[in-house]
Amino acid sequence: MPFSINEYAERIQKTKEQMVKEGVEVLLLSDPANMYYLSGYDGWSFYVPQLLVVILEEEQPLWIGRAQDANGARLTVWFHPDRIIPYSDEYVQSDERHPMDFVADILTQIGQAKRRFGVEMDAYYFTARSYERLRTGLPDACFQDATLLVNRIRMIKSSQEIDYMKRAGQIAERAMQTAMNTIAAGVRECDAAAAISHAQISGTSEYGGDYPAIVPLLPSGEKTSTPHLTWTDRRYRAGEAVIVELAGCYRRYHAPLARTAVIGTPSPLVRELAEVVAEGLNAALEVAAPGVSCEEVEAAWRQSIQKRGFKKESRLGYSVGLNYPPDWGEHTASIRAGDQTTLQPNMTFHLIPGIWLDSCGVEFSETFRVTGTGCETLSCFPRELVQRPAIPGIVPSLEESGA
């Protein structure tokens, strides 16, 4: 198992303490990251409704999910198999019945129908229909939003979690080097993406990688004016900038990393943007330390880039770590003006000070851990533009690219 029984027990205890503070008696978790965090369950089954049920008075949670995934639960969770409750396939994508009908029946059978429930109202995989069917099936229950109850507990990592993220950081380094070895004039964008994905999953010689929550983001040319585009089968051209944002992932823990390459000689604007972003990133990292607020870290960045006449409207970063598609962020603290979250040791953040103009953009990013005195980055890769060949040639093989 990825963690000891004692660590899972501590997580359950912290969750119950927070449940008491928020007046929740039964917690229904549908976020696969929170399910994994408290149970160890790890499967690509979140496309159908599934829940981890934490009952205040009971030592072990319940896993409720699709019958064909029940053996996956038995192979991954830390608690007794009797706590695994499957529903049959007649509930899957049916117009007549819904898995939450089954959940409501189970909760009624075990005497929980009239309690105060916490549900993750804003979780990706908890639908409006799921909520409606739960309320219909449990008419005497009270429901309240508990979307971030477990997410906030996850913000401060254990030593084992930090070790996993450091491994993810090393995988990210290797994947980024693969990207920079592959990108060149004449190379197809999809081939660069394939090489990156190979490196992410193969990992290092000591440990393999996991699938990341987000695919490689690879906007090129004019598309670097926006951060969240992926790839096509077009070929890179001389003079283009290419933004590479990716993550190493180990045991579902992520360490994102972003850099920018230029095919040939960078334009004066791109060169200036790179200098501004690197200076601002360094200024923010110098400030990050225990006792400092998220907004103070953002202020250091903002003051740095303002000296050069630039501004960034979007947030500078966010809490990061354990997650599943479609996002590696924890959805809690953001590094931006107004967020007064205080940094504490073993919090981890993705600091992504990209600047995107109408015609181009540049990104450098780091995942960092808050230490006892400051912060440390989880990857080591130069914070500068990487120049790549501008003369079309043979597409590098995976071996040649370092994948």
pLDDT in tens, 64-113: 999 999 999 999 999 999 999 999 999 999 999 999 999 999 999 999 99
Query: Between helices 5-22 and 32-39, what is the axis angle to 10°?
Result: 120
Segments of the chain with pLDDT less than 50: 394-403
Pairwise CA distance, residues 389 & 403, whole Å: 18
Pairwise CA distance, residues 149 & 17, whole Å: 10
Do 18 and 106 share a structural domain?
A: yes
User: Does residue 67 form part of some domain?
Assistant: yes
Cα angle: 356, vertex 263, 354; to 5 degrees: 20
Pairwise CA distance, residues 255 & 212, whole Å: 9
**Number of structural domains in the chain:** 2
Do 177 and 149 share a structural domain?
A: no
E strand or H helix at 163: helix 159-182
User: Does residue 329 form part of some domain?
Assistant: yes
Pairwise CA distance, residues 80 & 60, whole Å: 8
So what's the pLDDT on residue 403?
44
Q: Which residues have C-beta within 8 Å of that of residue 10, sequence separation ≥ 6? A: none
E strand or H helix at 260: strand 253-263
Structural domain of 228? 159-388
So what's the pLDDT on residue 391?
87
Q: What is the torsional sign of CA 42, 145, 214, 162?
A: negative
So what's the pLDDT on residue 395?
44
Question: Would you call 75 helix, strand, or coil by DSSP?
Answer: helix
Among 154, 182, 209, identify where a domain stops. 154
CATH number at residue 367: 3.90.230.10
Q: Rounded to the nearest 5°, which phi and psi values hold at 196?
A: -65, -45
pTM for this structure?
0.95
User: Does residue 359 form part of some domain?
Assistant: yes
Hunting for tokens 């049920």 — which residue is that? 53
Do 233 and 333 share a structural domain?
A: yes
In total, the chain counts a number of residues equal to 403
Do 63 and 146 share a structural domain?
A: yes
